Amino acid sequence: MSDMLKLLLPIIATHVVVLAVVLVLIKRILLGDTSKAVESVREVENEIRKKESGIREQIEEHERVFQKQKMAAEKELDEHRDQADKEVARARDQVLGEARTEADRMVEQAKRNEEKFRQQIAQDMEEKAVAYAGEIFELVFTEKMAEAVDLVFTDELLDALDALDASSITVDSGAVEFTSARAIAPAQKRRLEGLLKEKFQADIKVQETVQEDLVAGLAFKLGSLEIDGSLSTRMQEAVDEVKKHARG
């Protein structure tokens, strides 16, 4: 038994030593792999941290660029908005100015038209006043009375012609025109012809044109000389005089 133990002890010791060596080796191997693995993990972590840091910096840079571009865009937008507001204000002022100018022009035109209309009405009233006076004359005066008035007005014209100083008046006896409300009485016609010859050395045969709207009297032209002794002209002068007094 003791011999057997003696024999087995070296063998057992040898196996123990071998097993211890193997365990030590396995431990070293395991520890070496673990260290490498830990080192690799640490390297990966460091790489990830570096990438995260780079990505973070890129994100921050992009954010700064975005904010800068955003501020620039907002500034440009504000400038465009201000410019648009100014243009709208200018356009509004221009439209309002043109509208005021047009309104003033229309008011001024209306005033001119009103004044022109008043003048036209006044002129129409004057013309109608003379026409109405002629109609009243025909309605009120009989034919004999009208003839008498005609004679009086014609005589007044002849008297005025007789009193005229014709020494400084030169007339063209070739251009004559006689207009009367009625046929000129023979005696008045002879007197008129005699006065024309005496005053202007014009040997003229009077041929009148009857124009009833003269109402009474006559008018004649001898070259540039015009003399109107008709009742219609007297009535027009009366209308003008009344109008003048009314304005005064």
Q: Which residue has better confidence, 234 or 83?
A: 234
Same domain, 92 and 147: no
d(CA 67, CA 56): 16
Predicted confidence at residue 194, as pLDDT, reads 93
**Which residues, 6+ apart, have CB-to-CB distance to 216 below 8 Å?**
137, 146, 149, 150, 152, 153, 181, 182, 230, 231
Residue 120 maps to a domain: no
d(CA 58, CA 66): 12
For residue 183, give the DSSP letter: P
213 to 85, 115, 193, 203, 209: CA distances (angstroms): 72, 30, 24, 29, 12
Of 75-89, 136-150, 176-190, which has the strongest mean pLDDT?
A: 176-190
**Cα-Cα end-to-end distance for the chain:** 177
Residue 150 maps to a domain: yes
Which has the closest alpha carbon to 204: 218, 189, 219? 189
Percent of the chain with pLDDT over 90: 19
pTM score, whole prediction: 0.47
Residue 156 CA, chain-centre distance (Å), reads: 61
Predicted confidence at residue 126, as pLDDT, reads 60
Buried b / exposed e across 208-246, counting CB within 10 Å, b at 16+? Answer: beeeeebbbbbbbbbeebeebbbbbbbbbeebeeeeeee
Residue 232 maps to a domain: yes
Which has the closest alpha carbon to 217: 127, 116, 146, 166? 146
Residue 107 maps to a domain: no
Same domain, 152 and 61: no
Name the CA radius of gyration of the chain, rounded: 66
Q: Sheet containing 225-228: which strands, arranged edge to edge?
A: 208-210, 176-180, 218-222, 225-228
Q: Is the pLDDT of residue 62 over 80?
A: no
In degrees and rounded to multiples of 5, residue 243 shows phi and psi of -65, -40
Q: How many domains does the chain have?
A: 2
Q: Which residue has better confidence, 22 or 213?
A: 213
Domain end position, chosen among 72, 100, 128: 100
- Structural domain boundaries enclosing 239: 142-247
Domain end position, chosen among 43, 77, 100: 100
Residue 122 maps to a domain: no
Q: What is the mean pLDDT of residues 68-74?
A: 79
Q: Is the pLDDT of residue 22 over 90?
A: no
Residue 133 maps to a domain: no
Q: Is the pLDDT of residue 122 over 70?
A: no
d(CA 38, CA 42): 6
In degrees and rounded to multiples of 5, residue 185 shows phi and psi of -60, 145
Give Dmax over CA atoms of the chain in angstroms: 210
Domain end position, chosen among 100, 127, 153: 100
Predicted confidence at residue 193, as pLDDT, reads 92
Residue 167 maps to a domain: yes
Residue 228 belongs to what H/E stretch? strand 225-228
